[in-house]
Amino acid sequence: MGLSPFARTDFLFEGGSTGALMAALGQTNSPLGAPENWSSTLRTTVGLALRAEAQIVLFWGPEFVALYNDAYAPTIGDKHPQAMGRPAPRKLGGAMARSGPTSRRGPKYRTYICSKGSALLYRTTRLWRNGVL
């Protein structure tokens, strides 16, 4: 027995303004389509991210579609809310596609993005976005 459309979107409740944006993705031309049709893996992951107090952005699928929570939204400034449910910029997507698996590990590296089971690692740096560290 399948889940009702209501049950398939309950992960967005209490998800703040970004949860409301995601609920409307079915009415846009997002590559992900309507949230009620997302895989259970994506629904569970997004549900956890929306409720987190930490800044979380998830790049999903082969097009690296951006999904993020309320805490993350200020870090992208005027790109919010248009970035929700949209593929990552080609520059970022291309860099992720070229990186492939890496074995570099150590305290000066931090994992940011996973692609096809391989984590992409970047040097830890302090980033200032819109006057915020």
Q: Is the pLDDT of residue 117 over 60?
A: no
Q: Is the pLDDT of residue 79 over 60?
A: yes
For residue 112, CA distances in Å to 3, 38, 92, 130 come to 32, 23, 12, 20
Q: Rounded to whole angstroms, how far apart are CA atoms 71 and 52? A: 8
Q: Rounded to whole angstroms, how far apart are CA atoms 7 and 129? A: 37
Q: Is the pLDDT of residue 126 over 70?
A: no
Mean pLDDT of 86-102: 54
| pLDDT, tens digit (0-9, with 9 covering 90-100), for 10-52 | 999 889 999 999 999 988 889 999 999 999 999 999 999 999 9
Q: Is the pLDDT of residue 122 over 50?
A: no
**pTM for the predicted model, two decimal places:** 0.69
The domain segmentation of the chain, as residue ranges, is 7-123
* Type of residue at 26: G
pLDDT at residue number 93:
44
